[in-house]
Every structure is written in structure tokens, then in C-alpha cells.
A = this chain, B = another copy of it.
Amino acid sequence: MGERKIIQTMWKHLETPSNMPVPLGDDVSAIQTATTLAVLKTDMLVAKTDIPPQMTMQQAARKAIVMNISDLAAKGAKPLALLAALGIPKTLTKKDIQQIAKGLNQGAREYDTYIIGGDTSETDDLIISIAAFGTTKKGNLILRSGAHPGDIVATTGHFGLTSCGLKILTEELEAPPKIRKKLVDTVLMPHARLKEGLILAKTGAATASIDSSDGLAWSLKEISQASNVGFTIDALPIASETIEFAKQHNLNPTELSLYGGEEYELIVTIDPKHWKKVQKVVTQAGGKLIRIGKATAKKTFTLKQKGKTVEIEPRGYEHFKHEESG
């Protein structure tokens, strides 16, 4: 069974409360408390599938945090606290454990939060299962389901960097020193766009939002399904480093940008009448908001590039399938 099949089976058997501020399948879960909305997220890092070669234990633990914070960021929720459930193989040394602890702490502190508890078990493979607890005001929560035809689609950064970085790390492809570090760092030291997510939530102008950890194409598909819209992408945000690396290795930069994974950029739809203001606020805070296209009533995925129009295949970056094919 693939990951999504497993999740579907799970949902079929799980009852849910009548009042769910966030539907099942969105990035996080939420529950109404007295005055605020508690936003919950759990994401499990498994060494075998989630730790690329050359990633240190400290970086892996930090990444486990970033994975979870990124989902809170996409919903505009501020992290309040984290829990870490660890599955530790017998072979790990004290130094390994120290590195893991340092990485967890480093990740938490980067986003102004803390690990306040956890659990430790013995497992065959290293497992870091993080649970993140955040809050937001009810009206500020950005779901996947609010995009309307005509909304501007924007991203918080450029794409394709992690695809290239992974090729350097796993296939030992070469890259010029001046871009190699950036490509590899997006894999080893990813960043969650929390600042951008919190600003977007505050403006109230984002109609839908998702993080791009399953790839740009797949994440657009998720918004499409939840919001019942299509997308025309007329300015695919390919990073200049992606173009340079693709040229050197005769790779397709569009493919690298659409079907990469574990990029933690946010993909958001914005009401066009607020676009200029929102872009300005995000830019002033030191972030980026790059217009890449618009939402359409017709439920297709269209890419306009160099005068040509092609369909975007909504393929994803799915761990199980990735594993099976790799």
C-alpha cells in the first residue's frame, strides 16, 4: 500500500468531532480552546527515507523540527511548544544522541519555540517523531480550501534547489563551488517560512496556503482539489542555480522545479485586490512573495513557458513510491 492509500484507509475508520476548524488532510489539525485555536501537527522523520547521505545527526534532528514548523507556517499558526518522540537504535553512541538533542534544540530555537517533552523507545532505524503545538486566531487560519478563480498564486521562494542538491548528495553529481553550497544547504539545512506565514495570516489576504514539501506540482494539486480550482502558471519560479546546474548536467530545469520535494516554501493564493499590499508587507519583513500565475475556474494545470502552453502533470514526491522506485 502506498502512503496515500494508507491515509485514506485510516480516515475511513476514524470518527471526527462535529466541529473541526481544519478538515482532515490539511497540513495541521486544530481544536477550539477557550479563546484561541490550538493548532496541532505531527510529522515523523525516518532515517532510511528522510536522511540523505552526508546529513549529520544534528542536521537530521533539526530537519525533523523544520518539517513540522513548515506546516504550522503554511496555516499561519505560531508554534508554542514541541514534543519529540524518539526511536533510537542500539548502535547510536552518546555523541549521536548529543547531536540529535542539539539539532532538536537548534531547530526549536530558530523558530522561537522549545521542546518541552517527549519519549524514547528502542527501534531498529532512527526515528524522530515531532508533535508541534501552535495557536492562531480563528479568523487567521489559512486552509487549503479557500482559493477562488482569479486569485494570484505566489510562492515564498524559487524552486528546484533541493532536486539539484539531492542529486549532488545521492548521485555525486558535480557543481561549481559558487552554487554547490547553496544547492546542498537547501537539503541539509532547510528553512521553514514561518515569518512569511505569520505575516500572511495577519493580512487576511491569503485565501489558501500549503507548504511545498511534496513538490510544487503536487502541492498545487492539493490546493486545486480542496478549493475546486485549476491553475495557470505563467512564471514558473525556477532558481537561477537550478538553471545553471541543469545546463551543466543536461537536465530539465522545469522538471527539477515542479517535481522536487522537501522544499519548504509556501505556496499561497492571494485575493488580487490585496496583492500589492501583501507583497510589500512580506518584502519589508525580509521575505519574498513571487507571483507565479493565477487560479482558474477550469480545473486544469497549465504551464505557459517561452510562448508554449503545456499541461502540468500532477505528479508528487511521495516517500513510499520514491523508495520503491529508488
Contacts and interface: CB of A to CB of B under 8 A. Distances in A.
Interface stretch (A102-110, A146-154, A158-166, A182-190): A102-110
A35 B34 CA distance: 7
Q: What's the interface size class on A, roughly?
A: 35 or more
A29 interface: yes
Contact of A83 (B13, B41, B46): B41
Interface string A93-130: 11001101110110011000011111111111101010
Count of identical protomers in the assembly: 2
A93 B6 CA distance: 10
Contact of A14 (B12, B13, B114): B114
Given A14-B115, A16-B114, A104-B14, A3 B46 contact: no
Contacts of A120: 3, 6-7, 10
Contacts of A108: 14-15
Contacts of A98: 9, 12-13
**Dominant SS among interface residues on chain A:** mixed
Residue among A117, A120, A133, A320 having the largest count of chain B Cβ atoms under 10 Å: A117
B29 A116 contact: yes
Contact of A33 (B38, B49, B109): B38
A77 interface: no
A204 interface: no
A81 B1 contact: no
B1 A92 contact: yes
Nearest to A125: B124
